[in-house]
């Protein structure tokens, strides 16, 4: 069978990314223009600034993806683009560009759900995942547990009721003055501190469901800091370590419970927070004891990228699930 080459375009948040993936598996190029240093000045992603950077960078990033792969524009069979969820103005740059590019090239357009991309990043790197599986999707916008019949079919079995895990990381990091983005900032501080010198709550809600809640933990961490800042009884690094520990323990315990109850052998992690080293370590350690195999993408594919978009779109290409020229972007999630 002929090789299928798909160009993926991703602009849902603060990375302008383009990638070409062969047959849904082999990454031929993976170009990411990160705006992290720009948004750091503002203490978080500013949607209008992100959109401005996307329109400036999109043509260069896409062209670089072709150059890196050693291909001409005409060599690709389809164009895949993230159209949900994300920052609406940012998504619209990628969607509008992709529509123009696909139309002028006479190639089909494929609309991709960003979270499907994150989940698929696992498949891009691990060929041996056995299904059914449970997947923890954990990022700045989402904290969900999914039951996956196979890579293309899943249902949500639990979600956060308030803050997403990544959001809690960002807010607490900002409050503690550790900087932006919050995940890496807290991870770095936590590595210098000791968890357990003080105690933050592990909020499990109902022990028997798979819902999450992080706003209570976030508030507890902030209140603890107000006290510690004055008394100096502890270092900020100790608080960061305890906060990370409390958050990660809940994620690990709920994920493993979901895996056991659903009798799956594979546990996948996806999304930006899945890059957290302590989460990776603890999940693997606990899962090993239960004979559950844990998969997570390499750091480069955990954070936003277009390879996961081009990869996951392969199945849509095969089934001819093309998007129309009317395709719009959606900030929220229509369906997972």
Alpha carbon of 120 to those of 58, 84, 269, 301, 320: distances in Å? 23, 15, 10, 10, 19
Considering CB distances under 5 to 8 angstroms, the limit depending on partner class, which of other proteins, Zn ion, none binds residue 326? other proteins
Considering CB distances under 5 to 8 angstroms, the limit depending on partner class, which of other proteins, Zn ion, none binds residue 245? none
If one asks whether residue 304 binds Zn ion (CB under 5 A), the answer comes out as yes
Considering CB distances under 5 to 8 angstroms, the limit depending on partner class, which of other proteins, Zn ion, none binds residue 304? Zn ion
For the segment 301-330, give every residue that binds other proteins (CB under 8 A). 325-329
CA distance 323 to 163: 32
Quick one: 40 or 153, whose CB is closer to other proteins? 40
Cis peptide before 18 (omega within 30 of 0): no
- Residue 69 Cα to chain centre, angstroms: 24
If one asks whether residue 10 binds Zn ion (CB under 5 A), the answer comes out as no
The CB-of-107 to other proteins minimum distance in angstroms stands at: 8
The CB-of-276 to Zn ion minimum distance in angstroms stands at: 14
Quick one: 62 or 90, whose CB is closer to Zn ion? 90
Alpha carbon of 169 to those of 23, 56, 187: distances in Å? 36, 30, 9
The CB-of-115 to Zn ion minimum distance in angstroms stands at: 7
User: Which residue's Cβ has the minimum distance to Zn ion?
Assistant: 304
Contacts of 258 (CB under 8 A, 6+ apart): 134, 145, 147, 157, 158, 210
Considering CB distances under 5 to 8 angstroms, the limit depending on partner class, which of Zn ion, other proteins, none binds residue 281? none
If one asks whether residue 194 binds other proteins (CB under 8 A), the answer comes out as no
3-state helix, strand, coil in the chain (%, to 5): 45, 20, 35
Quick one: 64 or 213, whose CB is closer to other proteins? 64
For the segment 36-75, give every residue that binds other proteins (CB under 8 A). 41-42, 46, 48-49, 51-52, 54-56, 58-60, 62-63, 73
The interface region with Zn ion, picked from 50-58, 239-247, 296-304, 323-331 by CB under 5 A, is: 296-304
CA distance 56 to 52: 6
The CB-of-315 to other proteins minimum distance in angstroms stands at: 24
- How many CA within 13 A on the CB side of residue 318? 14
CA distance 315 to 317: 5
Kindly state the helix (H) or strand (E) to which residue 16 belongs, with its residue range. Answer: strand 15-22
Quick one: 181 or 271, whose CB is closer to other proteins? 181
For the segment 199-218, give every residue that binds other proteins (CB under 8 A). none
For the segment 81-120, give every residue that binds other proteins (CB under 8 A). 88-89, 92-105
The CB-of-180 to other proteins minimum distance in angstroms stands at: 13
Quick one: 138 or 292, whose CB is closer to Zn ion? 138
Quick one: 12 or 237, whose CB is closer to Zn ion? 12
Kindly state the helix (H) or strand (E) to which residue 92 belongs, with its residue range. Answer: helix 88-105
Alpha carbon of 292 to those of 153, 188, 212, 288: distances in Å? 20, 28, 22, 6
Quick one: 173 or 306, whose CB is closer to Zn ion? 306
- The full length of the chain comes to 336
Beta bridge partners of 158: 145
Which residues bind to Zn ion, rule: CB under 5 A? 304
Which residues bind to other proteins, rule: CB under 8 A? 41-42, 46, 48-49, 51-52, 54-56, 58-60, 62-63, 73, 88-89, 92-105, 325-329
């Amino acid at each position: 069978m002929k090789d299928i080459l798909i160009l993926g375009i991703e602009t849902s948040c603060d990375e302008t990314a383009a990638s070409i993936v062969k047959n849904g598996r082999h990454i031929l190029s993976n170009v990411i223009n990160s705006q992290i240093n720009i948004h750091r000045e503002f203490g978080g992603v500013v949607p209008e600034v992100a959109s401005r950077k996307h329109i400036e960078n999109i043509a260069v990033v896409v062209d670089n993806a072709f150059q890196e792969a050693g291909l001409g524009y005409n060599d690709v069979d389809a164009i895949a683009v993230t159209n949900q969820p994300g920052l609406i103005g940012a998504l619209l740059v990628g969607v509008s560009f992709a529509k123009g590019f696909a139309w002028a090239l006479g190639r089909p357009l494929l609309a991709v759900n960003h979270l499907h991309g994150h989940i698929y990043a696992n498949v891009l790197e691990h060929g041996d995942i056995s299904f059914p599986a449970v997947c923890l999707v954990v990022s700045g916008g989402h904290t969900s547990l999914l039951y996956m019949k196979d890579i293309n079919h899943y249902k949500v079995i639990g979600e956060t009721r308030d803050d997403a895990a990544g959001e809690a990381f960002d807010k607490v990091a900002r409050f503690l003055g550790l900087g932006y983005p919050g995940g890496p900032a807290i991870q770095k501080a936590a590595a210098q501190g000791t968890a357990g010198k003080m105690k933050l709550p592990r909020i499990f809600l109902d022990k028997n469901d798979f819902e999450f809640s992080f706003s209570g933990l976030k508030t507890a961490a902030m209140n603890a800091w107000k006290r510690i800042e004055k008394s100096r009884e502890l270092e900020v690094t100790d608080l960061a370590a305890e906060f990370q520990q409390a958050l990660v323990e809940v994620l690990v315990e709920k994920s493993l419970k979901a895996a056991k109850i659903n009798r799956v052998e594979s546990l996948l992690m996806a999304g930006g927070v899945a890059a957290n080293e302590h989460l990776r370590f603890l999940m693997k350690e606990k899962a090993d004891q239960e004979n559950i195999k844990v998969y997570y993408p390499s750091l480069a594919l955990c954070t936003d990228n277009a390879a996961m978009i081009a990869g996951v779109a392969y199945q849509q290409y095969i089934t001819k699930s093309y998007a129309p020229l009317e395709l719009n972007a959606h900030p929220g999630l229509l369906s997972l």
